[in-house]
Amino acid sequence: MAHGHGPGRCCCCGEEAAERGSAWGLYLRIDRQRLQCLNERREGSGATVFRPWEERDCGSWFVESDDDEELLFNIPFTGSVKLKGVMVMGEDDGTHPAEMRLFRNIPHMSFDDTAKEPEQTFSLSRDPLGQLEYPTKIARFSNVYHLSMHFPKNFGAETTKIFYIGLKGEWTEAHRHEVTICNYEASANPADHKLEQITPQTHFIS
């Protein structure tokens, strides 16, 4: 895949490019300390595909699957997200993912968990230029604090490669509730419940 801005490579310029780049800014709202990519060949490489839209064609940053063609991303956000669109960029060959399944608010998903019904499934087309946007069903992704992206297959290669994943939408800061500290008695403390008068006939000490 040829990387860099050549003829026909840059689909928009100037202010238009800046505006489009800001629309794909949800990568800034990912909690990268807890971001996971399962079945990545090189540890930590999955996190590199979430970056500025303007840097989507940097060929040195990509993730490749290891044992087979499957990849699974667990993406926690730092607040609540309304996800509106997704972009997936890969090679113009068999390593490009052919299907994407999205799950919401299921932290720490494993490949076993992908047997569940996803919120939305997409058939992907090869997109070596980072131009195709896949709109989500916003009603299903209006309050997302954790997104899982499952890529179960590609276009025929033994492994899958992804160079860039763009996330488009709105972010809302998580609400912080004031913490009220209450002291509850596990058992009554006799010192706190003194009786003014004690009838000897009914007061027993064992």
- Name the pLDDT band for 18 (thresholds 50, 70, 90): low
Stretch 113-123: mean pLDDT, rounded? 97
Residue 184 lies in a domain: no
Residue 126 lies in a domain: yes
Contact 155, 94 (CB under 8 A): yes
- Per the structure, the complete domain to which residue 54 belongs is given by 34-173
Residue 185 lies in a domain: no
Stretch 23-34: mean pLDDT, rounded? 94
Instruction: Round to the nearest angstrom and report the end-to-end CA distance of the chain.
Output: 86
Residue 107 lies in a domain: yes
| Contact residues for 64 (Cβ-Cβ < 8 A; gap 6+) | 40, 41, 42, 45, 95, 159, 160, 161
Residue 77 lies in a domain: yes
d(C-alpha 97, C-alpha 135), whole Å: 17
Residue 180 lies in a domain: no
- Name the pLDDT band for 174 (thresholds 50, 70, 90): confident
d(C-alpha 168, C-alpha 205), whole Å: 72
Report the percentage of the chain scoring pLDDT > 70. 74
Q: What is the pLDDT of residue 203?
A: 45
The CATH number assigned to the domain holding 162 equals 2.60.120.470
Residue 108 lies in a domain: yes
Residue 201 lies in a domain: no
Domain count, the chain: 1
Name the residue with higher pLDDT: 15 or 137: 137
pLDDT in tens, 59-80: 889 999 999 999 999 999 999 9
Mean of per-residue pLDDT scores for the chain: 83
Residue 1 has pLDDT above 80, yes or no: no
Residue 43 has pLDDT above 60, yes or no: yes
Name the residue with higher pLDDT: 197 or 18: 18
2-11, 32-41, 88-97: range with lowest mean pLDDT: 2-11
Token pair of 130, please?
């980072």
